[in-house]
């Protein structure tokens, strides 16, 4: 069989900060960890990812890290954080946009560029996949890519997504719903 005959597979696209790692909250708004000392995997994330992986999902982190473009975070620090997450969690890939809004790139959420890039590279079927995020940009990127969406609602003091397929309190809640839905279909 040639590579064109491979089966497409479903994926779970995950925002990083607020979905798998604990963001720093200042003024009811989330900010990414600035250093390894601040990097912490949220409770329940390891088990949720293991269950999703066992359920046959490709696990892909898609993260905006505009602090790199803003000069307040070094790319090497962000890369090493992502490498550490890949070493301790069953992730297939971590894709990162290092741009800010003014850069007009296609990879910065709410545009779906990171998701569509991962779908191409990892042979993922977006219509059978889910985007899990804690901010409107994540949900909009997932919607534009054709994924079903889960909004983890932490009550941040910022714009909420216009429409998410599911509103949950954690990645563990999302994983339970995804795996129950699969069992029923």
Q: How far is CA 112 from CA 82, 97, 108, in A?
A: 20, 11, 8
Q: Give CA 112 to chain center in angstroms.
A: 12
Write the CB contacts of 14 (distance below 8 Å, at least 6 apart in sequence).
20, 59, 60, 61, 62, 131, 132, 133, 171
Report the distance separating Cα 65 and Cα 165, nearest Å.
25
- Which residues belong to the active site? 15, 17
- Tokens 């990892």 label which residue? 122
The owner of tokens 């601040």 is 38
Q: Which SS3 state, helix, strand or coil, does residue 38 take? A: helix
């Amino acid at each position: 069989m040639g590579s064109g005959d491979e089966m497409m597979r479903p994926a779970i696209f995950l925002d990083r900060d607020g979905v798998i790692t604990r963001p720093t909250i200042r003024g009811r708004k989330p900010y990414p960890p600035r250093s390894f000392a601040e990097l912490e995997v949220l409770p329940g994330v390891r088990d949720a990812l293991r269950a999703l992986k066992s359920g046959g999902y490709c696990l892909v982190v898609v993260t905006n890290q505009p602090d790199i473009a803003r000069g307040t975070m070094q790319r090497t620090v962000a890369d090493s954080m992502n490498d550490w997450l890949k070493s301790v969690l069953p992730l297939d890939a971590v894709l990162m946009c290092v741009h800010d809004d003014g850069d007009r790139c296609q990879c910065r959420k709410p545009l779906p560029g990171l998701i569509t890039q991962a779908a191409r590279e990892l042979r993922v079927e977006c219509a059978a996949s889910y985007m899990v995020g804690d901010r409107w940009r994540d949900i909009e990127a997932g919607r534009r890519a054709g994924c079903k969406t889960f909004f983890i609602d932490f009550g941040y003091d910022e714009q909420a997504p216009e429409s998410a397929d599911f509103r949950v309190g954690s990645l563990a809640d999302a994983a339970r719903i995804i795996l129950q839905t699969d069992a029923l279909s």
